[in-house]
Structures are given as C-alpha cells and as structure tokens.
Amino acid sequence: AQTVTQSQPEMSVQEAETVTLSCTYDTSESDYYLFWYKQPPSRQMILVIRQEAYKQQNATENRFSVNFQKAAKSFSLKISDSQLGDAAMYFCAYRSPPNFGNEKLTFGTGTRLTIIP
Amino acid sequence: SAVISQKPSRDICQRGTSLTIQCQVDSQVTMMFWYRQQPGQSLTLIATANQGSEATYESGFVIDKFPISRPNLTFSTLTVSNMSPEDSSIYLCSVGTPRGQYFGPGTRLTVT
C-alpha cells in the first residue's frame, strides 16, 4: 500500500517571501501521479498542482512549483511571492495511474501554512 | 475542472438517526468518490461510486453504515446511518477527471 508523509504540521512565511512544503511517499509502482491540494478555512479542497511520475520536468502553475525527486520519493511544493490568500492546509496526495483501475487518492496528514503580513 | 455542489452544507443530527448527503456535478463523470475528514485530520476515502455498479468500500467502511447510490453520471448520495457522535466529520464528494480529482464544498455533520 502507498503511504504519504508530510513531516511539517505547521509552517509560516512572511508575505511576499518563498516557502517550501515537504512531502515524501512510499510506493512500489513506477508510474503514478502526485498532487498538492489546498484547503482554506472554507474547507473547499482546491487542486493546486499535479505531477506525473514519468515526466522529468517539474510542474509549475503560476506561483506554485514542485521539486519532484523520483529516486528519493520526494515531492515538495514551493510557493513564491506568498500572499495572504495562500493561508490554508496543504495536502500532498498520491494516485495510481488510471489503467490500474484504482484512482483513489492517498493523502498525507497536511501542513498548515500561515502567512505573516 | 468540474463544478460540484453538495447538500446540505451542514447539519446537526440526533444520535441514532440517518442523514443523506447529495452530490451533484455539472458534467457527466464516470468515477465519484466519498471521503470523510474528521476534525483536524486528513481525508480518508469511504468508497468509490461508479455509475451502473455497486460502490467499492474501503477497509473499515461498510455498506450498511454508509449506503451509496449512483443513479446517473451526474449525481450520487451518501447516507450516514444510525449515527453516533463518532460520525461527526466533514463529508466530501469528489469526481475523477483526466487532470485529477475535484472536490465538492463538503458537508459538516455534527451528531449530538
């Protein structure tokens, strides 16, 4: 079974600065997907970014980028130019590829990010 | 992406009663999922609901406690049966898309 570990329960960053959230995972599969989700106090889960394991290039979505290290099974999220609206719980998630017929997400325990004005 | 709505957004229920949560999507999707998020915790998958087949439950969740319906490609319901205070959680539905799973706004359930 796959496991996802987020070792930082809480992080804080000054507004406009850069912060990196860590995630490691364990799997025996060679092909899979990794995601970062954001859950603000409104509790709506928002898909932030996704990475396919077969792609060497790190995914980027505006101010959000990932550092995907497949051999180390590491998947960190970097938020640049932090804004007050980035304050939320961030969850790392793992998913097997669709052709395995198992598209469920396995979530980490989350990192609460606070933005300091 | 998909636009997903859930009803009710929150409810307070008495012990021993049942609550049915509805999930509506603005487009047809094959796979829908139901998750539970206990206070201050991460998300745990309850079951996967594909249209035209029985829901597949994860370990620790049973159909008698969490019956699920999936009558068409845009709608699903989750019932929390014979509730106890331990069922107090946020219940979220999600849909599978080629990009990833998108979530509804959640239903906050409090059992007294």
Cβ neighbours of B45 in A, within 8 Å: 104-105
Q: What is the pLDDT of residue A101?
A: 55
Distance of CA A49 to the CA centre of its chain: 7
Q: What is the pLDDT of residue A115?
A: 97
Backbone angles phi, psi at B103, to 5 degrees: -110, 150
Between chains, do B105 and A105 touch, taking CB under 8 Å as contact? Answer: no
CA dihedral A114, A108, B33, B83 (to 10 degrees): -80
Between chains, do B43 and A107 touch, taking CB under 8 Å as contact? Answer: yes
For chain B, the C-alpha Rg in angstroms (whole number) is 13
Residue with tokens 């497949």: A70
Secondary structure (H, E, C), A21-49: ECCEEECCCCCCEEEEEEECCCCCCEEEE
- Average confidence score pLDDT of chain B: 93
Q: What is the pLDDT of residue B70?
A: 93
Concatenating the DSSP letter of every residue in A63-87 gives TEEEEEETTTTEEEEEE-S--GGG-
Between chains, do A44 and B103 touch, taking CB under 8 Å as contact? Answer: yes
pLDDT tens readout for residues B52-107: 788 999 999 999 999 999 999 999 999 999 999 999 999 999 998 888 899 999 99
pLDDT tens readout for residues A2-45: 899 999 999 999 999 999 999 999 999 888 999 999 999 887 89
- Partnered with residue B34 across adjacent β-strands are B47, B93
Q: What is the pLDDT of residue B1?
A: 73
Q: What is the pLDDT of residue A84?
A: 96
* Residues constituting chain A: 117
Nearest chain B residue to A105, by CA: B45
Q: How far is CA A113 from CA A8, A77, A85, in A?
A: 10, 12, 10
pLDDT tens readout for residues A62-110: 999 999 999 999 999 999 999 999 999 999 999 987 665 567 899 999 9
Range B5-13 average pLDDT: 97
Identify which of B102, B95, B65, B61 has the alpha carbon closest to the alpha carbon of residue B82. B65
- Partnered with residue B55 across adjacent β-strands are none
Q: What is the pLDDT of residue A37?
A: 97
Cβ neighbours of B100 in A, within 8 Å: 33, 35, 47, 50, 95
Range B32-39 average pLDDT: 94
Q: What is the pLDDT of residue A109?
A: 96
Whether the CB-CB separation of A24 and A86 falls below 8 Å is answered with no
Between chains, do B42 and A109 touch, taking CB under 8 Å as contact? Answer: yes
